[in-house]
Amino acid sequence: MKSTNPRIIKESFALFEGREEDISGYFYGRLFAENPRLRALFPPAMDHQRDRFFHAIRKIVWSIDSPGTLSTFLSRLGRDHRRFGVTREHYDAMGRALLATLRKFGGDAWTAEMECAWRHAYATAATMMADAAEESSLPPWWTGEVIEHELRRPDIATLTVRPGSSLPYRAGQYVTVQTARWPWAWRPYSVANAPRPDGLLRFHVRALPAGWVGGTLVRHTRIGDTLLLGHAAGTMTLDLDSDRPILCVAGGTGLAPLKALVEEAVEKNLRRDIHLLVGARTAADLYDLPDLRALEERTPWLRVVPVVSEDPSSDGMHGLVPDVLDRFPDWSRHDAYVAGPPEMIQRTVTVLDELGVPADHIHYDRIDR
């Protein structure tokens, strides 16, 4: 964004931090009031969408002076928005609503200089998104047929899905999934296997109490059902230039992307020592252990370590998975990959930092669910 003023954008963004909910609510309220037809493009419940909106704005602001990062992010966002049916004209309406929102929440501190910087930044971002969407040779979404559905726990299922045509992704990435039961509700799930010649995708899904898509996938999905799948995203992929040993730390179904990474390392025969720590509440919640043990059996340089947090009578290691890391000799030379609940990721990153793992050797994605 050449002639956008990054300093003004970053400084003025401080006016809005901490008021995410009100700002996103006002933005969408205003957008739909002025453009009622746009409402149909979005899900009935807007909570996740509102979070995503602010997250996207924050990410744009933070990377506004890193053209490479920004263009990768905006291009992906633009391609991805095709699944909502968003076209070039819609960006103008969104831009008007965004500026009106910033003006309102900026209050007396909002200046003409800020207005000009944001107007320019938005126009550039919208052009990048719309161009990327139009230039993409990939479809806006894929259909996928469920060919296996296995209930591993009352609230956890593994699914295998066959996309209608090849869906490109790298091990460790996630795709968004929509079920016929909840049109427009897209929820991200990591692909739990490395890319395969037959293109099949496996998912690990937990049904959460208020989770529409997860509940449907676990309890109301059968073989032969059709799902919609969005583009792959996420940066937690294997660093293939590194020869360091690998530490994977999984919490619950956060195992999915890590299993894909381990599979990729095994398929490529990387022969870098891998420790896979699998955190679960109870021994029964270790829903994928037999598969992991089979993989371990075939792979002399892979060690799978179950860690149970709420079941002191079970065999093996006990504790929250980040809290057992200091019971091992030394992780400081490892590349670390972390996935699970957000608090678990945060704690694991802190502990790894304390144990001397350099920040740029710790990989994780913050997925907006």
Residue 252 touches ligand NAI, criterion: CB under 6 A:
yes
Check: CB of residue 52 under 8 Å from CB of residue 368. Answer: yes
- Residue 40's φ and ψ, nearest 5 degrees, are -70, -15
Q: In Å, what is the CA distance from 169 to each residue of 48, 173, 178, 200, 234?
A: 24, 7, 18, 11, 10
Stretch that binds ligand NAI, among 13-21, 39-47, 73-81, 340-348 (CB under 6 A): 340-348
Kindly tell me which of 97 and 321 has the beta carbon lying closer to ligand NAI. 321
Q: Which two tokens stand for residue 38?
A: 């746009």
Secondary structure class of 29 (helix, strand, coil): helix
Residue 62: CB minimum distance to ligand NAI, A: 22
Residue 113 touches ligand NAI, criterion: CB under 6 A:
no
Kindly tell me which of 227 and 367 has the beta carbon lying closer to ligand NAI. 367
Secondary structure class of 206 (helix, strand, coil): strand
Task: Return all residues near 15 (Cβ < 8 A) that are at least 6 apart.
Answer: 105, 106, 107, 109, 110
Number of Cβ atoms within 10 Å of the Cβ of 226: 13
Residue 204 touches ligand NAI, criterion: CB under 6 A:
yes
Check: CB of residue 292 under 8 Å from CB of residue 263. Answer: no
**Residue of 96, 119, 272, 369 that binds ligand NAI (CB under 6 A):** 369
Residue 189 touches ligand NAI, criterion: CB under 6 A:
yes
Instruction: Give how far the C-alpha of residue 123 lies from the chain's centroid of Cα atoms, to the nearest Å.
Output: 26
Residue 91: CB minimum distance to ligand NAI, A: 30
The DSSP element (H or E) to which 263 belongs, if any, is: helix 255-267
Kindly tell me which of 247 and 367 has the beta carbon lying closer to ligand NAI. 367
> End-to-end distance of the chain based on CA atoms, in angstroms?
29
DSSP β-ladder status, 317-318 and 302-308? parallel
Kindly tell me which of 23 and 320 has the beta carbon lying closer to ligand NAI. 320
**Residue of 340, 351, 357, 362 that binds ligand NAI (CB under 6 A):** 340
Kindly tell me which of 76 and 153 has the beta carbon lying closer to ligand NAI. 153
Kindly tell me which of 189 and 331 has the beta carbon lying closer to ligand NAI. 189
Size of the site for ligand NAI (CB under 6 A): 27
Stretch that binds ligand NAI, among 20-28, 30-38, 238-246, 343-351 (CB under 6 A): 343-351
Half-sphere exposure of 125 (CA within 13 A, CB side): 25
Kindly tell me which of 4 and 190 has the beta carbon lying closer to ligand NAI. 190
Contact positions with ligand NAI (CB under 6 A) in 293-332: 307, 309, 320-322
The residue written with tokens 């209050």 in the block is 107
Contact positions with ligand NAI (CB under 6 A) in 255-294: 256-257, 279-281
Residue 253 touches ligand NAI, criterion: CB under 6 A:
yes
Torsion angle of the four alpha carbons 79, 80, 85, 90, in this order, in degrees rounded to the nearest 10: -70
Residues near ligand NAI, by CB under 6 A: 189-190, 204-206, 251-254, 256-257, 279-281, 307, 309, 320-322, 339-341, 343-344, 347, 367, 369
